[in-house]
Amino acid sequence: MTAPSAAILLTGNELLRGVISDRNASFLAADLELRGVRVRRTLVVGDDVEDIAGGLRELAASADLVVTSGGLGPTHDDRTVEAVARVAGVGLVLDQEVLDTVTRWTDEISTRQGLDPAMFEPGNRKQAHIPEGASVLGIAGTAPGLVAEAAGASVVVLPGVPSELRRLWLDAPAHPRLTDLFARAVPRERLLLRTYGISESRVADIFAESGGDPEGVETSICARNYEIEIDVRTDPADRPRAEELWRRMHSALGEHVFATDERPLPEIVLTLARERGLTLATAESCTGGLVAGELTSIAGSSDVVVGGAVTYSNQLKERVLGVPADLLERHGAVSAEVAEAMAAGARERLGANVAVSVTGVAGPGGGTPEKPVGLVFLHVAGPGGGSAHRMQWPGDRGVVRRRATVAALHQLRDHLLTLS
């Protein structure tokens, strides 16, 4: 049985102009993959009705299912429903139930805000018109999600607001017009290797040396968040071949593998500290609290993270962390010596078992020939001593800060692994 295929159609001039970033395609693609539906393409078009219709025809020619995002609102440039009707060769009909539901909602808004309910009527009627033969999936806000047939494919029409799209999409697989399609879907199994400190090209070499993809196995090598992820997908019947490839690569990658699951790196760090009964603190300069922010973004981090200090100026490095003034004078704020003193000071003054420090030149200014933009010093201080790293990266201020944050978390992880 052939697995069903899908395509995603994103609509909106705001996407084409770079005004907003899409958050829907990745969600839909990941969810469809989990359900065993293979996503073949994603296409972005503007608000022109012919562009939307053309995109739908193009995608429907090679996919069993097309999911659209955007263009369902009350304004003149919300044209997706009209485009679906054109491609399906049908007219638009008023769905009274949708109109009644949307009108009740806008009447409540009118009452709360002292507005004239009539001002909403044209937009409400526009949104209540759906392609003849389509089914209403549900309503989010004032926009109904729809299920229709067009150009030989099943079409799910969803709003562009991510929270609304996600709420409606979760009901789609159980919709009567889609149950047969999803019944044919067989989820692929996934084997994962996450690595740090190794180049993407070297990982590609290791993949080739390990024999490449055997029949029925599909491997992706992806650079993400300054790490390299090896994602091995396989149908259940081909899992033994996938496991053999995974084992070969795991062995060859060695200590560069830091995880075989999708847990966020900060969660991995917190788990290691928790298992060892250790508390953590941060001392940050160029990262401005990003390391502490990553750690405390994980629910339950308060039993491990005692706090952090953002000491951007030399005066605060002295006053808050106890970095000696003569050390700053001799070596400068961006130095291995000051990073070590910052970590030691955070550990002592914040009362943590282990502390990590970051100091560097994030740019775009402030660099010198001796200490160029992108130079970062890290230090971890713990009960078993300390570990230091000097790193130099190209890139703008945001890149340097993000890379330093990831590097600090990995150094924390590595240090915690040395402690019993």
Q: Domain boundary residue among 224, 259, 294?
A: 259
Residues 286 and 246 in one domain: no
| DSSP 8-class letter at 188 | P
Question: Would you state the pLDDT for residue 143?
Answer: 86
Question: Are both 39 and 174 inside the same structural domain?
Answer: yes
Domain final position from 146, 163, 183: 183
pLDDT of residue 1: 61
From 157, 183, 209, the end of a domain falls on 183
**Residues 279, 252 within the same domain:** no
How would DSSP label each residue in 321-389?
A: H---HHHHHHH-SSSHHHHHHHHHHHHHHTT-SEEEEEEE--SSS---SSS-TTEEEEEEEETTEEEEE
What is the pTM (predicted TM-score) of this model? 0.89
CATH number of the domain where residue 249 is located: 3.30.70.2860
List strand residue ranges (DSSP E) for 46-142, in order: 65-69, 92-94, 129-131, 135-140
Q: In the chain, how many domains are there? A: 3
Q: What is the mean pLDDT of each run of 10 residues along the chain (420 residues)?
A: 91 95 97 97 97 98 98 92 98 96 92 92 94 96 93 97 96 97 96 98 98 96 96 96 98 98 98 98 98 98 98 98 98 98 98 98 94 98 95 96 98 95
Q: How far is CA 70 from the centre of its chain?
A: 20
CA 133 to centroid of chain Cα atoms:
36
- Tell me, what CATH number does 30's domain have? 3.40.980.10
Distance set, CA 213 to CA 124, 249, 415 (Å): 53, 12, 35
pLDDT at 141: 81
194 and 175 fall within a common domain = no
Residue-range definition of the domain harbouring residue 198: 189-259
Using alpha carbons, select from 261, 272, 255, 267 the residue that is nearest to residue 197: 255
Do 169 and 21 fall within a single domain?
A: yes
Query: Are 16 and 163 within one domain?
Result: yes
Q: What is the pLDDT of residue 2?
A: 80
Same domain, 401 and 275: yes
Q: Which residues have C-beta within 8 Å of that of residue 211, sequence separation ≥ 6?
A: 245, 248
Looking at residue 349, what is its pLDDT? 97
